[in-house]
Amino acid sequence: MAEVRLTGVNKFYGATQALHAVSLTIEDGEFAVFVGPSGCGKSTLLRSIAGLEEISEGSIHIGDRDVTRAAPSERDVAMVFQSYALYPHMTVRENMDFGMKVNNFPYADRNRRIAEAARILQLEPYLDRKPSQLSGGQRQRVAIGRAIVKEPKVFLFDEPLSNLDAKLRVQMRVELEALHRTLGATMIYVTHDQVEAMTMADKIVVLNAGRIEQVGPPMELYNRPANLFVAGFIGAPAMNFLDVTLADGQAMHGAEPLGPAPENTVHLGIRPEHIALRPAGQGHMAVTVLLRETLGGDAYLYVRTGTGHQLVVRAEGDTALDHGAEVGLDLPPARRHHFAADGRALNP
């Protein structure tokens, strides 16, 4: 096991800069998730740690070793890909064995490692099957098994659940968390899905256009996003933003006074689940319901403010409010986020 330390990592593909001065430490045994929209550089960052991409500037340490120029095989990492990348003509056992066999591991050691991985991943009944005789989830477990038998210092996962259906993704999420607890290994996981990041990570690294926007535990990012980007990215449905002007320290949305706000506030953010519904004429703002989306336990109301701005509000699943209803909204001060014109959060 080992910590992973990146210092001032820049990566250029020709004239395109994919990573900008990325500095980051992932602690020994931590489950870190790199998350961000497509093209933000998360795969490049993971592949740089694996040694599959050469970084242009900066350094990478795994444990106390500088691996910046080391070959992938010398880094003591194992990577699990979205595509599984299993050998179709080999059985599950042979797929797991292959890397060890070509590296001349002793036979008994190989068997011990395969048996252990198969036990942890519940693959024992399938060891003699070929990948084509397995479900998608089982194939992904074999790919993970192939990483486990290497007994690496660091596991690297590149969107490993993207090819699975929604139900299986949830199941595999739980299995991966259990695996992390069992192995106690350092794991780095790349995804564009903020729900995966929130549910699995000890530490989330939010990337945008090749830069780190914020690093922290899931609930810290949820409760105290450092800027508009993180505020809008973490949480589903996304945080609502209202444009406000300040008059004597009071935020105004159009003609509606919303209460005190810090100096330089330009945007006020509030999550759908933190807005309270009130009868028409009460609360901080008057709105009209445009649409109700019922999920069962919850319903989401899409509402329009007097200025024509659209917000999402979480309500009880059995709410009677629907298209055309006039309601008031209460925006609890403790749940508000304030942002300056450059997107920086102004909350304490």
Number of amino acids touching ligand ADP (CB under 6 A): 11
The C-alpha atoms of residue 207 and residue 210 are separated, in whole angstroms, by: 6
Of the residues 16, 166, 255, 279, which one makes contact with ligand ADP according to CB under 6 A:
16
Q: How far is the CB of 82 from ligand ADP (least distance, A)?
A: 11
Of the residues 15, 38, 102, 104, which one makes contact with ligand ADP according to CB under 6 A:
38
Amino acid in position 295: L
User: Rule CB under 6 A: is residue 39 a binding residue for ligand ADP?
Assistant: yes
Q: Which of residues 16 and 132 has its CB atom nearest to ligand ADP in the complex?
A: 16
User: Rule CB under 6 A: is residue 191 a binding residue for ligand ADP?
Assistant: no
Q: Which of residues 13 and 87 has its CB atom nearest to ligand ADP in the complex?
A: 13
User: Rule CB under 6 A: is residue 132 a binding residue for ligand ADP?
Assistant: no
The C-alpha atoms of residue 141 and residue 129 are separated, in whole angstroms, by: 13
Which 8-state DSSP code applies to residue 334? G
CA angle 31, 212, 78 (to 5 degrees): 35
Of the residues 43, 82, 95, 140, which one makes contact with ligand ADP according to CB under 6 A:
43
- DSSP β-ladder status, 250-253 and 285-294: unpaired
Instruction: For the chain, state the CA radius of gyration.
Output: 24
Q: Which of residues 48 and 227 has its CB atom nearest to ligand ADP in the complex?
A: 48
Residues in the chain, how many? 348
The C-alpha atoms of residue 289 and residue 326 are separated, in whole angstroms, by: 6
Of the candidates 181, 180, 173, the one whose C-alpha atom is nearest the C-alpha of residue 197 is 173
Q: Which of residues 121 and 204 has its CB atom nearest to ligand ADP in the complex?
A: 204
Q: How far is the CB of 279 from ligand ADP (least distance, A)?
A: 45
Place of tokens 């990215």: 233
Place of tokens 């259906």: 165
Amino acid in position 239: M
User: Rule CB under 6 A: is residue 15 a binding residue for ligand ADP?
Assistant: no
Q: Which of residues 205 and 261 has its CB atom nearest to ligand ADP in the complex?
A: 205
| Cα–Cα distances in angstroms (integers) from residue 323 to residues 120, 194, 319, 320, in the given order | 51, 30, 12, 10
Q: Which of residues 50 and 327 has its CB atom nearest to ligand ADP in the complex?
A: 50
User: Rule CB under 6 A: is residue 232 a binding residue for ligand ADP?
Assistant: no
Which residue stretch of 38-46, 64-72, 116-124, 311-319 sits at the interface with ligand ADP (rule: CB under 6 A)?
Answer: 38-46
Q: Which of residues 36 and 51 has its CB atom nearest to ligand ADP in the complex?
A: 36
User: Rule CB under 6 A: is residue 205 a binding residue for ligand ADP?
Assistant: no
The C-alpha atoms of residue 243 and residue 169 are separated, in whole angstroms, by: 37
Which residue stretch of 11-19, 164-172, 179-187, 211-219 sits at the interface with ligand ADP (rule: CB under 6 A)?
Answer: 11-19
Task: Show the tokens assigned to 149.
Answer: 């038998």
Which residue stretch of 33-41, 100-108, 116-124, 235-243 sits at the interface with ligand ADP (rule: CB under 6 A)?
Answer: 33-41
| Cα–Cα distances in angstroms (integers) from residue 216 to residues 4, 44, 153, 173, 245, in the given order | 16, 21, 22, 20, 31
User: Rule CB under 6 A: is residue 260 a binding residue for ligand ADP?
Assistant: no
Q: Collapsing DSSP states into helix, strand and coil, what is residue 102?
A: helix
User: Rule CB under 6 A: is residue 194 a binding residue for ligand ADP?
Assistant: no
Which helix H or strand E contains 140, and what residues bound it? helix 136-148
Of the residues 6, 30, 42, 233, which one makes contact with ligand ADP according to CB under 6 A:
42
The C-alpha atoms of residue 84 and residue 177 are separated, in whole angstroms, by: 19
Q: Collapsing DSSP states into helix, strand and coil, what is residue 287?
A: strand
User: Rule CB under 6 A: is residue 305 a binding residue for ligand ADP?
Assistant: no
Q: Which of residues 57 and 322 has its CB atom nearest to ligand ADP in the complex?
A: 57
User: Rule CB under 6 A: is residue 343 a binding residue for ligand ADP?
Assistant: no
Which residue stretch of 32-40, 97-105, 195-203, 339-347 sits at the interface with ligand ADP (rule: CB under 6 A)?
Answer: 32-40
Interface positions with ligand ADP (CB under 6 A): 13, 16, 18, 36, 38-44
